[in-house]
């Protein structure tokens, strides 16, 4: 690696969010476990619903900017488009109201509730179409999603309620107090360990291999969890498990744009699959985060919530081949724009008119990719005073 990154932003920075002291959980649905979890199809549908809940956390409703707001905005890589939305400005200033969409943890707990339902009920299904191996993989995927959801929670809110059992009826206890972040992190590690012992390395389709929980995705999550706790030796070891996996390769520099445009490339480890034409999925949140108004004859930022921060722009050195993919400088007419997601159709037509700029943006949301894990291993090795190994990456 030409330059060792001295400090990378590991996951999402801890937010000073105002939230309730207890979690008031509602039953998942009017269906009880006794009349739903009966067949192999029920098991697979429940798992699919868990993935959908996590996707909707980052890509649905009023909170559809959470992916960027909880990540790059908090790492000072983005700034808000002045006057767009007071809640994002408050987030950027670390001043949140409990009613702000990005300060709402309910979607994460919905993912956890669905995962809990799968974990509790799939083992009891008796169906010849659901083998022991099938059950094992379904449970591993559910525990991966539960761990990932709790990792978001503990980074964002610190001490949080810990819900580990399904809530199936109105008579179940629903008020859960916060527990220490250390307890939550222990639970996350246990779920990841379970998943690592049962997840497949790949699936039959590439979109499933990049869009569902796999060994590589679980090791990537584990590396981040260890790094969050400054357990650099363990973080480096988990990252290495991903790096040495032949499923993952860095794309050459002339294909850098494909990471964001083509979707599910060999560099991708885990990304949320977005299809705006599939009922319930909606437009990619990245269109809302970074979309631009081409219909008025230029890149104006009128639809986008976030802009590149000056810190981010300053860190793109002269000659950096990524710059033209990541940022449109405005050519003196417009403010700089993040364009890596929103202009796959015609990068050369920036500042003119792009007829394809519609609400049907379908960019997948990348959670983990190989470059991220290589940098994480380099950072871990640097903390261990193994700088030569780090720079060799």
- Residue extents of the structural domains in the chain: 24-181+194-199
Whole-number Å distance between alpha carbons of 369 and 259: 9
Is residue 198 scored above 50 in pLDDT? Answer: yes
pTM assigned to the model: 0.83
Q: Over the stretch 274-307, which tens digit does the pLDDT of each residue have?
A: 876 564 555 555 655 555 444 333 444 444 667 7
Please give the residue that has the higher pLDDT: either 53 or 323: 53
Q: Over the stretch 252-282, which tens digit does the pLDDT of each residue have?
A: 988 888 888 788 999 999 999 887 656 455 5
Whole-number Å distance between alpha carbons of 120 and 124: 8
β-sheet with 22-24: strand ranges across: 22-24, 175-179, 160-161
Q: What is the CATH number of domain 24-181+194-199?
A: 1.25.40.390
Question: 31 is written with which tokens?
Answer: 């269906």
The pLDDT value given to residue 354: 38
DSSP string, 87-143: HHHHHHTT---TTSGGG--HHHHHHHHHHHHHHHHGGG---TTS-HHHHHHHHHHHH
Query: How many other CB atoms are there within 10 angstroms of residue 360's CB atom?
Result: 13
Is residue 192 scored above 80 in pLDDT? Answer: yes
The pLDDT value given to residue 353: 40
**Cα atoms found within 13 Å of the Cα of residue 204, Cβ hemisphere only:** 0
Which residues in the chain belong to E strands, given as ranges? 22-24, 78-80, 160-161, 175-179, 268-272, 306-308, 327-328, 337-338, 365-369
The pLDDT value given to residue 324: 74
| Helix, strand, or coil (residue 172) | coil
The pLDDT value given to residue 290: 57
Q: What angle do CA 59, 107, 113 make, to 5 degrees?
A: 130
Query: Treating both helix axes as pointing N-terminal to C-terminal, what angle do 132-157 and 181-196 enclose, rounded to 10 degrees?
Result: 150
Is residue 231 scored above 50 in pLDDT? Answer: yes
| Helix, strand, or coil (residue 167) | coil
Confidence of residue 139 (pLDDT cuts 50, 70, 90): very high
């Amino acid at each position: 690696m030409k330059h060792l990154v001295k400090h990378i932003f590991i996951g999402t920075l801890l937010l000073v969010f105002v939230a309730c002291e207890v979690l008031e959980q509602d039953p998942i649905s009017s269906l009880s476990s006794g009349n739903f979890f009966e067949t192999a199809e029920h098991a697979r549908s429940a798992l699919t619903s868990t993935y959908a809940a996590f996707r909707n956390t980052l890509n649905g409703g009023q909170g559809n900017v959470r992916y960027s707001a909880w990540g790059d905005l908090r790492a000072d890589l983005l700034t808000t488009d002045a006057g767009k939305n007071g809640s994002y400005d408050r987030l950027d200033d670390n001043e949140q109201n409990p009613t702000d969409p990005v300060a709402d943890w309910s979607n994460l707990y919905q993912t956890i509730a669905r995962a809990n339902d799968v974990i509790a009920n799939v083992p009891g299904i008796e169906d010849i179409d659901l083998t022991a191996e099938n059950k094992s993989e379904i449970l591993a995927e559910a525990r991966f999603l539960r761990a990932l959801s709790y990792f978001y929670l503990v980074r964002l809110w610190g001490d949080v309620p810990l819900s580990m059992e399904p809530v199936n009826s109105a008579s179940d206890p629903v008020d859960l107090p916060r527990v220490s972040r250390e307890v939550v992190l222990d639970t996350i590690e246990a779920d990841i360990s379970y998943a690592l012992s049962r997840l497949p390395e790949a699936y039959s389709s590439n979109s499933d291999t990049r869009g569902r929980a796999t060994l590589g995705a679980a090791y990537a999550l584990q590396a981040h969890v260890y790094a969050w706790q400054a357990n650099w030796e363990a973080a480096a070891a988990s990252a290495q498990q991903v790096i040495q996996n032949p499923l993952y390769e860095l794309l050459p520099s002339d294909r850098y744009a494909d990471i964001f445009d083509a979707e599910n490339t060999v560099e991708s480890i885990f990304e949320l699959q977005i299809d705006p034409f599939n009922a319930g999925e909606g437009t990619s949140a990245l269109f809302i985060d970074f979309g631009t108004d081409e219909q008025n004859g230029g890149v104006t930022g009128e639809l986008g919530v976030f802009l590149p921060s000056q810190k981010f722009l300053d860190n793109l050195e002269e000659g950096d081949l990524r710059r033209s993919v990541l940022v449109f400088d405005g050519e003196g007419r417009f403010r700089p724009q993040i364009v890596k997601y929103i202009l796959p159709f015609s990068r050369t037509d920036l500042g003119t008119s792009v007829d394809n700029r519609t609400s049907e943006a379908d960019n997948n949301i990348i959670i983990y990719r190989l470059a991220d894990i290589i940098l994480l291993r380099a950072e871990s090795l640097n903390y261990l005073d193994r700088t030569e190994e780090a720079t060799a990456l």
